[in-house]
Structure 1
Amino acid sequence: MDRRGVMLLSGLAVLLAAISLLWMFQGIGGGNREFILRLRGGKLAALITVAASIGVATVLFQTVAANRVLTPSIMGFDALYILLQSVMVASMGSAGVAGFPDIAKFLVEVGAMSMLAALLFGMLLARRGRDIPRTILTGVILGVMFRSMSGFLTRIMDPNEFAVVQAASFASFNHVDTTLLPIGAALTTAAIMIALWLSPRLDVMALGREPAVSLGLRFDTMVIGALMLVAVLVSVSTALVGPVAFFGLIVAGLAHGLTQSARHTALLPAAALIASILVVGGQWIFERIMGQAATLSVVIELAGGIFFLYLLLKGRIR
């Protein structure tokens, strides 16, 4: 990494630390200070974990797909997660799911997501990655199919069981499931470290299938491995706050624009830091300044959708 990249990452890290301190200590009075700090600390760690997961997962997925318009959510990863939730509730019942240990349930979800993602999206992107319109169309069709199957299961469920699935279908940064934070943070850290270790191979893979294979890269193996990392990261973020469709698109665009580099040693940490700054800073604005008069997830989806349309129009113009 060059000097400019080091300075950029250092600046982003300092900005994140400043925003985190402001979010942690603003408005703390004399009483119950320790309890408030402990509560805010857990939520801050969860927000950073979610943000880093989404940012790194999007950059990895765009590298695999060789396109900056695609995101895991657009291609149906979140819909796949909701389908798994629906299948578990339909087969085990809400009582069975509630009685299932949270960590074991989460690990089962991550494992199933990784295998299904490698099977479905791996074959698609490895063989059709250069045919972008077909890739987008197939990903959208898979997402619609997953949502339709989930919708069918929820229609035949008991209303109480339906409420359990519905609660997992909407993103909320205000109510973060911190019970999964230890295992979620551990999985996120491990996945990001593996992605950084694979950065040289990811740089080669970004050149395209034919150049990468000619340089000795096992392209299909790298595609499957990268998609499994994406599945783990998406599972963590969705389990903690729910599905977020377009946030990763904004983060990846900012990471590419600020770093001005194709090196994943700069892109991946930049995406994680930028996402964390946006989530923590946005949550601070909505909680402490606006008094929760609006919802951060709604604003993110609106801005991300506009940015997605901009990228499509820009691509067509070119």
Structure 2
Amino acid sequence: MTINVHGYWDFALPLRGKKLLALMVVAYAIGVSTLLFQTLTHNPILTPSLLGFDSLYVLLQSLLVFFLGSISYTSIDPIAKFGLEIALMFGASLLLFKVLFSKRSQDLTRLILVGVIFGVLFRSLSALIARLINPDDFVVVQAASYAQFNTLNPKLLGVSLVICMLSAIVVWRWRYQCDVLMLGKPQAINLGINYQRLAFGLLSVIAVLVATATALVGPVTFFGLLVCALTNRITRRMYHSERLVLVSLVAMICLVLGQAVFEQLLNMAGVLSVVIELAGGIVFLLLIFMTHRRRV
């Protein structure tokens, strides 16, 4: 907030305060959604991006640029565009959950597999559209395909903050049920947990948080995996009353510290999202190797 402030404080502090709050909102949404997804799937190397949210977001941007053009695309009302993106991603995920996670079929593995297939389909359609549009429009689509932490829209911050606060209240009420859910599906059912209702509720909250973070800054694939891996190394107990708070703090520290380093030390010589994806990808490979060694 105060590093290298050369000028008027009444201008610098509100500007940096909004950016700081936006980074904290995004960090909370990505960290908590990934933690809940790993709790539900009982797998520490899975992220909600496997369900195809990031690919759907990129496809939506490609379609908007293809039909409207780059000039009309940049002049769209940010609130309307933000609402459209959240509604589309949440509606698609809700339809996917409703079809593949009904009372007769509660196969979470099949849900993830279908999500991966849809992700590949969305990426292929985005690549096809990229070949059909002109180079100027392609630059706009390419810019929207990466997370942008430097050009956050303050108008979208209030809506995102309200969504995250409401989700925090709901998730905090489910913290003890999430602890029981970690014992496994049969044990949770035997202990009185309504598995279908809880799982569908968690998946809905995950979809809302991921859609909010993606619509606010863009797709971030491995950041949630990175902060959850750090949280699992730090925490001594697996209670969600501790892990939910800790993963939020770890995600906020990583994102804010990384942005501060890029702005103040590196003079914006790079893109923070690229470094996050690189570090998260390395952590993902390490987790896979560690899991394989344990099984061997």
What is the TM-score of this pair, normalised by structure 2? 0.87
Q: Is 2:259 aligned against 1:283?
A: yes
Shift of 1:303: 1.0
Map of 2:284 onto structure 1 = 308
SS at match of 2:192: coil
Q: What do the CA deviations read for 1:138-168 (whole angstroms, capped 9, x no partner)? A: 4432221121123333433455554443332
Number of the residue aligned with 1:37: 13
Q: Deviations over 1:56-105 (max 9, x none)?
A: 11101111222110001234221122223334455566566556543233
Q: Which runs of 5+ in 1 are unaligned?
A: 1-23
- Distance in 2 of aligned mates of 1:292 and 1:101: 28
How far apart, CA to CA, are the structure 2 residues paired with 1:155 and 1:49?
35
Query: Retained in 2: the 8 A contact 1:115–1:228?
Result: no
Tell me which of 25, 42, 48 is aligned to 1:49.
Answer: 25
* Distance in 1 of aligned mates of 2:83 and 2:177: 27
Residue among 168, 183, 188 paired with 2:144: 168
**RMSD over equivalenced CA pairs, Å:** 2.5
CA contact (8 A) 2:82 2:216 kept: no
Given candidates 120, 125, 145, the residue that maps to 1:144 is 120
Q: Distance in 1 between matches of 2:273 and 2:220?
A: 7
Q: Kindly indicate whether the alpha-carbon contact (under 8 Å) linking 1:246 and 1:304 is maintained by their aligned counterparts in 2.
A: yes
> Is residue 61 of structure 2 the alignment partner of residue 85 of structure 1?
yes
Does residue 26 of structure 1 match 2:7? Answer: no
Q: Tell me, yes or no, if structure 1 residue 296 matches structure 2 residue 272.
A: yes
The one-letter amino acid paired with 2:82 is F
Q: How many residues align?
A: 291
Match of 1:10 in 2: none
2:241 paired with 1:262 = no
Say which of 196, 200, 203 aligns to 1:227: 203
Question: Per the alignment, do residues 80 and 206 of structure 1 end up closer, same or farther by CA in structure 2, a change over 3 Å counting?
Answer: farther
Q: Secondary structure at the match of 1:127?
A: coil
Deviation for aligned residue 1:137:
5.0
Decide whether the 8 Å contact of 1:252 with 1:271 is kept in 2: yes
Contact between 2:146 and 2:273, CA under 8 Å: does it hold in 1?
no
> Structure 1's 155 and 111: CA in aligned 2 closer, same or farther, altered over 3 A?
same
Which letter does structure 1 place at the counterpart of 2:247? A
**SS, match of residue 193 in structure 2:** coil
Mapped partners of 1:310, 1:41: distance in 2:
36
Please, which moves more after superposition, 233-242 or 45-54?
233-242
The aligned residue for residue 153 of structure 2 is: 177
Q: Which amino acid aligns with 1:57?
A: S
CA distance in 2, matches of 1:86, 1:212: 42
> What is the CA-CA distance between 1:311 and the residue it aligns to?
0.7
For residues 107 and 32 of structure 1, what CA distance do their matches in structure 2 show? 35
1:52-201 alignment to 2 at 5 Å?
52-90=28-66, 100-120=76-96, 123=100, 127-129=106-108, 137-157=113-133, 161-201=137-177
Could you report, residue by residue, the CA deviation over 1:193-236 in whole angstroms, capped at 9, with x for unpaired residues?
21112112222222222222222222222222212211221122
Q: Does the 8 A contact of 1:66 with 1:206 survive in 2?
A: yes
1:7 corresponding residue in structure 2: none
- Structure 1: which 4+ aligned runs deviate by more than 6 Å? none
Pick closer, same or farther for the CA change 1:118–1:65 going to 2, 3 Å: farther
By how many angstroms is 1:300 displaced? 1.2
Decide whether the 8 Å contact of 1:199 with 1:265 is kept in 2. Answer: yes
* Greater mean alpha carbon deviation, residues 273-282 or residues 173-182: 173-182
Secondary structure of the residue that 2:48 maps to in structure 1?
coil
